[in-house]
Structure 1
Amino acid sequence: MKHDTSLVATTVPRMAMSLEKVAIALDVSPNSVLKMVEEGLLPRPRVWGRRKLWRVVEIDAALAEWPTDGDEEGEAGEPGRWVAVR
């Protein structure tokens, strides 16, 4: 039986994304995503074998910690390194 992947794509929530998909979702280049990870603005990916995947909920949580446009650096505090809540 052949599966209809278009139905699956619309009904199954995405839990993780590849580097390329994170870059597309953030409208930046893959190198920019890697730089954000290096700077602590985004979480490090999860690893399964040679695959690296970013959890969508962790990306969302990290973005929620970024300052909003117009915030003065001293006013909202320095953005810290993103840390997963366990």
Structure 2
Amino acid sequence: MGRQIALPPTLSPRLISRDAAAAYVCVSTNKFDEMVRDGRMPRARRIDARKVWCVRELDSAADNLPIDGDDATGDDTWGDIDAA
């Protein structure tokens, strides 16, 4: 569905479609669906039968993605050792 005519061009929509949400986070729709399933992206909201995604929630999820070079899944074997 296209952009609402009543919405000024300088005002971004708050809720967007699945295709737009995938494009917003720079992934294919299949990858986006996978990321929703595994919790990296938020689940859809509902407007009647229509699924939409909140841009603010997408921003928050994108902010929480791992940063390249950070070892988020590394071995924390020594993490419970008190150095003091």
The interval holding the TM-score normalised by the smaller chain is 0.7 to 0.9
Letter in 2 for 1:40: G
For structure 1, the residue ranges without an aligned partner over 5 or more in a row are: 78-86
Question: Which structure has the larger Rg?
Answer: 2
**Match runs of 1:43-82 below 5 Å:** 43-74=42-73
Contact 2:40/2:61 (CA < 8 Å) preserved in 1?
Answer: yes
For structure 2, the residue ranges without an aligned partner over 5 or more in a row are: 77-84
Corresponding residue of 2:18: 19
TM-score by length of 1: 0.71
* SS class of match (1:53): strand
TM-score by length of 2: 0.73
Identical-residue share of aligned pairs (%): 34
Corresponding residue of 2:33: 34
Cα drift, residue 31 of structure 1: 1.3
Deviation digits for residues 16-67 of structure 1, max 9, x if unmatched?
A: 1100101122222111111000000011010111110000000001111111
Q: Which has the higher helix share?
A: 1
* SS class of match (2:46): strand
Q: Considering only aligned residues, what root-mean-square deviation do their CA atoms show, in Å?
A: 2.1
Cα distance in 1, alignment partners of residues 15 and 53 from structure 2: 5
Question: How many residues are matched?
Answer: 71
